[in-house]
A and B are shown apart, each in its own frame.
Chain A
């Protein structure tokens, strides 16, 4: 049966700034199975990108620090590795794709060199073998005429093609976990559809696990097997994609889904969640969503709800959902 590849337990990442401590990620736990895609959904400043950077241990120092928790990759706690060991993991075992393909690629080097750099670093192969690996990475991402693309510079490619190249770099060393931070947000709708189909194909071929960060439920529905919904540094609900859409248990999840117009529904008025996401500097006591929650109870403002497994594989942190 499916084996757990990545297990994050009670991760806390804080930023120590002049104006105080920002609790960007404040105790989140989730897992990703082998060959599976977990979607991390949330709005801006909910902590999803910081979570990804924490796993990669690429936080901006000295301000950002992981202050607690465990990140277990196939049993090894990444937080206990020293810098050298972690570098071995980065790129080889865990890879990351970022949102903006324009800045992910170095404009002054040809594509082939950029992919080869990753391959050389991690596999220590000789030149001919390196080229072979590079071409096979390009083919995996269905990039046409790979031999020609090798010599091209990033500016000669379109946005969608560049994002594929970024994907090729990420996959070139056969990682076991791929973290994708909003990789499709900057792409046009039809290109996005292509890209997602492509990634599903890559996943099938390589059995890579994917942590897919996004704010778009449409992408979640197509790409992810399971979903975790984040808000203000906490995970409020985790479930399979099917469950989340059929039966969201947390008020935030259902409010969010109702506030997003769906193409297949000519609805009446959209539900709009009142207020704004809270500042992560001075958080109120109790549930973080309480100030905006449509079904808030007094206990919600006093105590933070614990995470409860409400049905198999479906976790919620909510007083109301019990």
Chain B
């Protein structure tokens, strides 16, 4: 009874080696897409064929080049004011990404600092900071944005302020949770035994060890901020026309949706593509860096 042939040794050894192509696709595609969009955003004036506000009523409502009546002078067609859709989408990328960058920078900084201090120091500091965070979370986001737009007037900075104001609290919550856990870690106790001040412990020990979840959240936030800005612009509380915010473009094209669908379609597709890429990238990073966060 020879039972040593229970298993095909070589087959098992081969199968264990990683499926490289698939794994890398879920990383490569989003990175490529996002890089392309960012580059376009940065070099918009050089890349876009037309200025975003160049009105040309004689060429209004031209379809994209691949349809009849379209031609290559306006690759993605024109909108109801004759403005080139492609150029406006490209300039729109500038708006979307610059807002995303600013908002994420502000919210993650405030949120992280608040969260770490709250989690590590505990006691009354924690209680106070968490109440402030709760209050921020309790605000109905869209309503506040509309209110701010009504008070300060719709515009770029209004959007930045609104989104920053509403966006730091989730970071605070997350970082607080991480800090709470780390507070009890042996190496933190060691640092305190040596005489390290709370500030040193927070900066040197707590923060570097919670950078991973932070990176993941930040990557996922890119899509979220862009989408929120688009929504705000769509309902008129964001960046007003003639600015080529993708959300505003979608709104402008709404009435033409059955005749000149491309006016809303391309900015909408851009939103979808960027948000999706951001999410894929965030998921990939999370799987690589911190599988514990799978529920986010």
Contacts and interface: CB of A to CB of B under 8 A. Distances in A.
Assess A/B contact in the complex (Cβ within 8 A). Answer: yes
B17 A18 contact: yes
Interface residues of A, number: 16
B292 interface: no
Contact of B12 (A16, A18, A68, A80): A16
Contacts of A62: 12, 15
Interface in A49-81: 62-63, 65-70, 77, 79-80
Chain B: number of interface residues, binned into ranges: 10 to 19
B9 interface: yes
A62 B4 CA distance: 18
A310 interface: no
Given A18-B17, A18-B18, A77 B3 contact: yes
Contact of B6 (A16, A63, A66): A66
A270 interface: no
A165 to B, nearest CB: 29
Nearest to B11: A16
A69 B12 contact: no
B194 interface: no
A218 to B, nearest CB: 28
A68 B3 contact: yes
A17 interface: yes
Contacts of A67: 4, 6-7, 9
Contact of A63 (B4, B16, B17, B18): B16
Contacts of B1: 70, 77
A121 interface: no
Interface of A: prevailing SS: strand
B51 to A, nearest CB: 53
A21 interface: yes
Nearest to A70: B3
A68 B13 CA distance: 15
A67 B12 CA distance: 10
B4 A68 contact: yes
A79 B15 contact: no
Contacts of A69: 3-4
A245 B251 CA distance: 86
A66 B13 contact: no
Contacts, number: 36
Interface in B135-184: none
A16 B1 CA distance: 25
Contacts of A21: 13, 16
B55 to A, nearest CB: 59
Contacts of A80: 3
Contact of B16 (A16, A66, A77): A16
A16 B13 contact: yes
B3 A16 contact: no
A17 B17 CA distance: 7
B291 to A, nearest CB: 16
Contacts of A63: 16
A63 to B, nearest CB: 7
A99 B7 CA distance: 30
Nearest to A80: B3
A298 B7 CA distance: 35
A68 to B, nearest CB: 4
Interface in B1-53: 1, 3-4, 6-7, 9, 12-13, 15-18
B16 A18 contact: yes
A17 to B, nearest CB: 6
A79 B3 CA distance: 8
Contacts of B3: 68-70, 77, 79-80
Contact of A68 (B6, B16, B17): B6
A45 B156 CA distance: 60
A68 B17 CA distance: 22
Given A16-B12, A16-B13, A77-B1, A66 B7 contact: yes
A80 B2 CA distance: 11
B16 A65 contact: no
Contacts of A79: 3, 6
Nearest to B12: A16
Interface string A63-104: 101111110000001011000000000000000000000000
Contact of A17 (B4, B7, B16): B16
A62 B7 CA distance: 12
B136 to A, nearest CB: 35
Contacts of B16: 16-18, 21, 63
Which of A16, A66, A77, A79: most chain B CB closer than 10 A? Answer: A16
Nearest to A67: B7
A174 to B, nearest CB: 29
Contacts of B4: 67-69
A79 B2 CA distance: 11
Nearest to A15: B16
B15 A16 contact: yes
A282 B21 CA distance: 27
5 contacts: A16-B12, A63-B16, A66-B7, A67-B6, A69-B3
Interface of B: 1, 3-4, 6-7, 9, 12-13, 15-18
Given A16-B12, A62-B12, 10 more contacts: A14-B9, A18-B17, A18-B18, A21-B16, A63-B16, A67-B4, A68-B3, A68-B4, A69-B4, A70-B3
Closest 10 CB pairs of A and B: A16-B16, A68-B4, A16-B12, A67-B7, A65-B7, A18-B18, A16-B13, A70-B3, A79-B3, A21-B13
